[in-house]
Structure 1
Amino acid sequence: MSKEIIIREAVDSDREAIAGVLLDAYSQYSAFLPVAYWFEYRDSILDSIHGNAPAARIIAEADKQIVGSALLFTSSETAYGKPELGIHSPVLRLLAVSPDARGRGIATLLIQDAARRSLEWGASTLNLHTSDMMASAIKLYERLGFKRAYDTDIMNGETLVKGYQLDLLSSPTLGEEQPLRTKIG
């Protein structure tokens, strides 16, 4: 596999490949969820990919294959249909990297691109939500400077979905691209 990772905006013809990456990456959590909840979650993932709510669909390519993706929404209302959360800045959702491509910094590159886009949109924060079953993702978010945003936590059934926020104006994670491995397109 090539070392070059290309980060770019997805086009409509990429949506099926994005769905494949997301379902491949997120299916590892199906073992932790009740069957009905997993199918509901899977359907929510597919609705987000095929719907028009994301303001940006960011993908990572290696060897002309989509190996990662992230969706960027403008608010909690567009991301979750929850205006009551009061998030009026970008929300990163459904960050995923194909299991075969993990460990190459792809998730970090996708987050950096989402942060760059958020700044370009005039935002001072980038938000996301995750749960404890995604422990490795939480470690990555915290390493990149995301802080808990307790006031945006959501209860989904009996699961606490934790809010996190990155202060884009003081974040050291921006601009730490890895030359020779990354081409932003």
Structure 2
Amino acid sequence: MEKHLILRNAHENERKIIRDITIEAYAEYQAVMPLDFWTRYRHNLIVTLDGEGTFDQIVVEQNGSIIGSVSLYPPAADSYKGAAISIPYPEVRHLAVLLQARGQGIGTVLMKECERRARETGAQAIGLHTAEVMQTAIRMYERLGFVRTPETDFQPSEGVVVLGYRHTF
């Protein structure tokens, strides 16, 4: 199969596809997150992906089908409603790749596109938040040059810490 990839901004009528890919991609964490946290997390994913906001929704398409997506928020956006953090650089959220497309570098392609776009705006760094259970993602982020920023960690519920990372250009 040819690996011809197209990176682009998502179209409005693709929200359901992006939401479905994201929920499927994140469902593997249901078994390792506290149930009440997973329920809220899943709900927040849906609300955020279906909502309006000032962010780029980037998709990667292969052979005419969307196989992955990521959200890129501008600096200091209130991307984590209720969390007392303000990030002074663009923030990556909701990186998701179809299960059958994993292992092909699609996540890396999406992350590099976020970095390219951030640099284009003059940003000196890019950030993200992740959970400790997302070890495959953490390995990719660290391979791409992201380092831990504990000062941007936050705790959305008892026993759950969301880990901050930053990549400086």
Measured against the shorter chain, the TM-score band is: over 0.9
| In the alignment, structure 1 residue 148 sits paired with structure 2 residue 148 | yes
Cα shift at 1:33: 2.0
Q: Per-residue displacement from partner, 1:22-60 (whole Å, max 9, x unpaired)?
A: 011000111112333222111111111111224100111
Q: Which ranges of structure 1 fall in alignment gaps of 5 or more residues?
A: 169-185
Distance 1:82 1:38 in 2: 17
Counterparts in 2 of 1:93-112, with a 5 A limit? 93-112=93-112
The verdict on how the C-alpha distance between 1:110 and 1:117 changes in structure 2, with shifts beyond 3 A counting, is same
Q: 1:2, 1:19 → 2: CA distance? A: 26
SS at match of 1:15: helix
Residue identity over aligned pairs, in percent, reads 35
TM-score, with length taken from structure 1: 0.85
Q: CA deviation at 1:83?
A: 7.3
Which residue of structure 1 lines up, in the alignment, with residue 168 of structure 2? 167
Kindly report the root-mean-square deviation, in angstroms, between the aligned alpha carbons of the 2 structures.
1.5
1:16 counterpart letter in structure 2: K
Alignment-mate amino acid for residue 144 of structure 1: L
Contact 1:60 1:68 in 2 (8 A): yes
1:173 is matched with which residue?
A: none
Runs of 4 or more consecutive aligned structure 1 residues displaced over 4 Å after TM superposition:
none
Post-superposition CA distance 1:91-147 (Å, at most 9, x none): 100101111000111000100110111111221110000111000100000000001
Aligned to 1:7: 7
| CA shift in 2, pair 1:130/1:119, >3 Å | same
Does residue 48 of structure 1 match 2:48? yes
Task: Give the TM-score of the pair, scaled to structure 2.
Answer: 0.93
CA distance in 2, matches of 1:16, 1:105: 24
Shift of the alpha carbon at 1:2?
3.2
Over residues 49-93 of structure 1, what are the superposed CA-to-partner deviations in whole Å (9 max), with x where a residue is unaligned? 111224100111111111100001113542113574231211100
Give the letter aligned to residue 61 of structure 1.
Answer: E
Contact 1:129 1:163 in 2 (8 A): yes
What residue identity is the alignment partner of 2:108? T
Structure-2 separation of matches of 1:38 and 1:165: 25
Partner of residue 136, structure 2? 136
Report the Cα distance in structure 2 between the residues aligned to 1:86 and 1:113, rounded to whole angstroms: 23
Partners of 1:48 and 1:76 lie apart in 2 by 17
